[in-house]
Amino acid sequence: MSFGESIKTVFTKYAEFSGRATRPEFWWWVLFTFLVSAGLGAIQLPMITVDDSGQLALTTTTLSGLWALATLLPSLAVTVRRLRDAGYGWGHVFWFLLPLAGVIVLIVLCAKPTQVAPASYGYAQPQGYAPQGYAPPQGYAPPPQAGGTPGAAPTGTPPAAATPPAQTPPAGPTPPPAPGS
C-alpha cells in the first residue's frame, strides 16, 4: 500500500473500528500525521487573549492542536484495526494512557506482523478457508489434482462406502423341523 492509498483508506474509514489495518497503512498514517503536525506547529498564529490581570495580551498559537483533535478518531480507529491485525484485542490501545512506557508497548505491538485468526473478528483467513456451513455453488467442481481427472475425488480421500451388507440372522441352534414335514 502506497503513502497516498494509506491516507485515503484511513480517511475513508474515519471512525471504523472493525476490520484490519495492515502495517503499511498504519505506519504511513503515523508518518503523515506527524509531518502535518510538525508543519502546523511551525506556523505561529497571533491570538489576542485576556491575561490574569484582565489585560489584553497578544500571544501566539499553533494549528497543531486543532489537527490533533481532527485526527484523534481516525488515529484511534486505525490503531485498533492494526492491533487486531497483529492478533491483539482493541483493549491494548489503553497502553497509550501509560506515559512513555505505554507508547513503547504500542509501538512494539503495532510493529508485529499480521496474524491469521477467526473470521468472526474480521481477521484474515488462510488460502482455501471456508467458513462453517459454507457449501460451494451447484455445479461447482474442485480444480483437478495433479495427474487426476476433473470431478474425481481428491487424492488421499477414501472412495465412497458401498451399500451395507444384508442383515443375517444371528448364529445359534437350528430349530427342530415342523411336524408333518
Element containing residue 46 per DSSP (H, E): strand 45-50
CA 144 to chain centre: 32
Residue 90's pLDDT is 85
Element containing residue 57 per DSSP (H, E): strand 56-61
Average pLDDT over residues 60-73: 84
The three-state secondary structure class of 96 is: helix
Where do the domains of the chain lie?
A: 3-119
Element containing residue 39 per DSSP (H, E): helix 23-42
Give the orientation angle of helix 3-12 with respect to helix 23-42, to 10 degrees.
90
Q: Find all residues with CB under 8 Å of 72, minimum gap 6, and list them.
A: none
Residue 73's pLDDT is 93
The reported pTM is 0.58
Q: Would you place residue 120 in the very low, low, confident or very high pLDDT band (cuts 50, 70, 90)?
A: very low
| Model confidence pLDDT, tens digit, residues 130-178 | 555 556 566 666 666 665 555 555 555 555 555 666 666 666 666 677 7
Give ∠ CA 104-106-43 in degrees, rounded to 5: 75
Number of H helices, E strands in the chain: 5, 2
